[in-house]
Amino acid sequence: MKIFNTLTRKKEEFIPITEGKVKMYVCGPTVYNFFHIGNGRTFIVFDTIRRYFEYRGYEVSFVQNFTDIDDKMIKKANEEETTVKNIGDKYIEEYYKDADRLNIERATVNPRATEYITDIIEFVKSLVNRGFAYEINGDVYFSTKKFNEYGKLSGQNLDDLQAGARINVDERKNDPMDFAIWKAQKLGEPAWESPWGLGRPGWHIECSCMAKKILGETIDIHGGGMDLAFPHHENEIAQSEALTGENLANYWMHSAFVNVDNKKMSKSLNNFFTAREILEKYDADVVRFLMLSGHYRIQINFSQDLLESAKASIERLYNCINNLENLIDEVNENKISEEEVVYLKSLDKYRDKFIEKMDDDFNTADAISVLFDLTKDINSNVGINSSKELCEKSLLVIRELGKPLGILQKSTKQDLDSEIQALVDQRQQARKDRDFALADKIRDDLKNRGIVLEDTPQGVRWKKVD
Ligand code: AMP
Ligand code: ZN
């Protein structure tokens, strides 16, 4: 399996620290608002990577943190006249609602920064004791010059970085590139007791500390959006590696942005769509399809057209599922024939191809093309004269390959709730009674709800079209 490692700027063979296991840490959301679909892409990408490792038989420890203390959290709490803790509680709950709907598997652990304050203080203390950090009036800064490899992740050297750096007026650090790992309390801010007085942790130290505490000194994969490579991950490396002398992560992975009009979707630019508002109109399968139909290292320029085309594409895949589900109810023969066994075996080539594509730095774009080839093959070879077993097993192949992508797991039958079924039955009765006006009305009403009926030799079938 090959992974593009931001650290070496190369695709490398994945060699886990412990055979059969993967330890992953992904930077999660700052919980002061609903997440937007730019954030959503990063969550979906790493969820897919995790799912794929699991599909390949790895046991994955997946940690994604919640940043629940920072300037934005404090500002939001002030605006809403409540505590930072309440804001965190609220938006963590909302995060789970949206993430669950997006079929994002729950992490092994979702640590909250504020639950690790004691460990963070210990971490900072050790860095000060070893001479990697210094205190000025209650702030503690990491001294980037002391860490020889500073800049190795982003491929920049300290001199160039320094030339471009500016010191904010409220900062009292020795060197422009130094960064705060502990911040003295400002008026009205939440704070914790520390050897440097009341204060709170800096953002970078939280991830260094939680990754170490939960997963150990060296992890297999550290991930996040592209914007985090510098300075966040660079600073995490400096702090963690200064402390332990070990590599923080063997592989660094960064997913590309979702843009709008070629600008990064972000809360500050106010050019965002929340996952929640998109999910009101589009299914999770559509959103995941959109995010995964391009390679994770290529930017997506988000638009309504893109959503619509993702919707049309996923529908084509679901039509095959719908067809198979109907056939399972309708075909006469139960047992698979010898000829069909041979055909079923021929589908292995799609599985092999899918794995080949995903093994190549999680090329979901090409893996999805394989899914289209598979369904095309099934559509032309499995039909009303096939055995039930073949229909079932073909369906299982589609589901199997959809699972690592978190798509194609729904039954098209589940939508047939009793209300719709009752209407379909009522329409059949009306036709029998030759009440064509009523029959047509029911048909039109269903159509308005996005359900179309088809008369087939096997009876009335229905399909959801949006
Ligand atoms: P935040 O809540 O801003 O701290 O971001 C949470 C995660 O979403 C981080 O891994 C970010 O790198 C990622 N992220 C933020 N904006 C975007 C975007 N427009 N496209 C893709 N990922 C993003
Ligand atoms: Zn982080």
The C-alpha atoms of residue 404 and residue 359 are separated, in whole angstroms, by: 12
For the entire predicted model, the pTM comes to: 0.89
Q: In a 3-state reduction of DSSP, which class is residue 6? A: coil
Q: Is 229 in the pocket of ligand 1 (CB under 6 A)?
A: no
Residue 425 has pLDDT above 90, yes or no: no
What pLDDT does 453 receive? Answer: 86
CA dihedral over 388, 390, 396, 399, signed as positive or negative: negative
pLDDT of residue 166: 66
CATH number of domain containing 378: 1.20.120.640
Question: Is 298 domain-assigned?
Answer: no
CB atoms within 10 A of CB 311: 18
Based on the fold, state whether residues 173 and 48 are members of the same structural domain: yes
Regarding whether 196 and 179 lie in a shared domain, the answer is yes
What ligand is nearest to the CA atom of residue 25? Answer: 2
Q: Which of 286, 316, 351 is the last residue of a domain?
A: 286
Q: Are residues 424 and 447 in the same domain?
A: yes
Are 39 and 26 in contact by the 8 Å Cβ rule? The answer is no
DSSP secondary structure letter of residue 176: T
Residue 324 sits in the same domain as residue 236: no
The answer to the question of whether 295 is labelled as a binding residue is no
E strands present in 49-178: 59-64, 133-136, 139-142
- Give dist(CA 81, CA 385) in Å, integer: 67
Residue 297 inside a domain? The answer is no
403 is in an annotated binding site: no
Distance 24 CA to ligand 2 centre (A): 12
Distance CA 62, CA 211 (A): 10
Q: How many CA atoms lie within 13 A of 301 on its CB side?
A: 4
**441 and 362 inside one domain:** no
Write out the two tokens for 264: 């990064």
Mean pLDDT score of the chain:
94
pLDDT given at position 170: 60
**What is the DSSP-derived secondary structure letter of residue 375?**
H
Q: Are residues 149 and 242 in the same domain?
A: yes
pLDDT in tens, 246-269: 999 999 999 999 999 999 999 889
Residue 179 lies in a domain: yes
Q: What is the pLDDT of residues 113-161, one digit of tens each?
A: 999 999 999 999 999 999 999 999 999 999 999 999 999 999 988 887 8
- pLDDT of 459 reads 78
Please give the average per-residue pLDDT across 368-387, as a whole number. 98
Position 463 pLDDT exceeds 90: no
Residue 125 forms part of a structural domain:
yes
Task: Confirm or reject: Cβ of 258 under 6 Å from ligand 1.
Answer: yes
Does the annotation flag 209 for ligand binding?
no
Ligand nearest to the CA of 99: 1
Does residue 306 contact residue 428 with C-beta atoms inside 8 Å?
no
State the Cα–Cα distance between residues 179 and 202, nearest whole angstrom: 9
Which residue's CA is the nearest one to ligand 1's atom 18?
38
Residue 439 has pLDDT above 60, yes or no: yes
pLDDT in tens, 71-103: 999 999 999 999 999 999 999 999 999 999 999
DSSP code of 216? -
**pLDDT in the model for residue 160:** 78
Residue 88 lies in a domain: yes
Q: Are residues 317 and 379 in the same domain?
A: yes
Count of domains for the chain: 3
Atom number, ligand 1, closest to the C-alpha of residue 257: 20
Render 305-367 in DSSP notation, one character per residue: HHHHHHHHHHHHHHHHHHHHHHHHHH-S--SPPHHHHHHHHHTHHHHHHHHHHHHBT--HHHH
CATH number at 83 reads 3.40.50.620
Residue 292 lies in a domain: no
Return the best residue to mutate from 25, 39, 297 for the ligand 1 pocket (most ligand atoms within 8 A of CB): 39
Same domain, 7 and 138: yes
* 351 and 445 together in one domain: no
pLDDT at 417 over 90: no
Q: Domain of 437?
A: 413-464
Q: What is the pLDDT of residues 10-46, one digit of tens each?
A: 999 999 999 999 999 999 999 999 999 999 999 999 9
Residue 171 lies in a domain: yes
Note whether 77 and 138 are same-domain residues: yes
* Domain final residue pick, 286, 318, 343: 286
From 30, 227, 230, 233, give the residue whose CB has the most ligand 1 atoms within 8 Å, as the site to mutate.
227
Q: How far is the CA of 28 from the centre of ligand 2 (A)?
A: 7
Residue 284 DSSP code:
H
Compute, in angstroms, the gap from residue 237 CA to the centroid of ligand 1.
Answer: 19
Question: Is there a single domain that holds both residue 106 and residue 200?
Answer: yes
End residue of a domain, out of 368, 393, 410: 410
Residue 163 lies in a domain: yes
- The model's pLDDT over 329-341, given as tens digits with 9 standing for 90+, comes to 999 999 999 999 9
Same domain, 402 and 419: no
**Which ligand has the nearest atom to the CA of 44?**
1
Q: Is the CB of 121 under 6 A from ligand 1?
A: no
Task: Give all strands of the β-sheet with 133-136 in edge-to-edge order.
Answer: 133-136, 139-142, 179-184, 199-201
Per the listing, tokens 């300290």 go with: 158
Ligand 1 pocket check for 228: Cβ under 6 Å: yes
Angle ∠(402,264,233) on CA atoms, nearest 5: 80
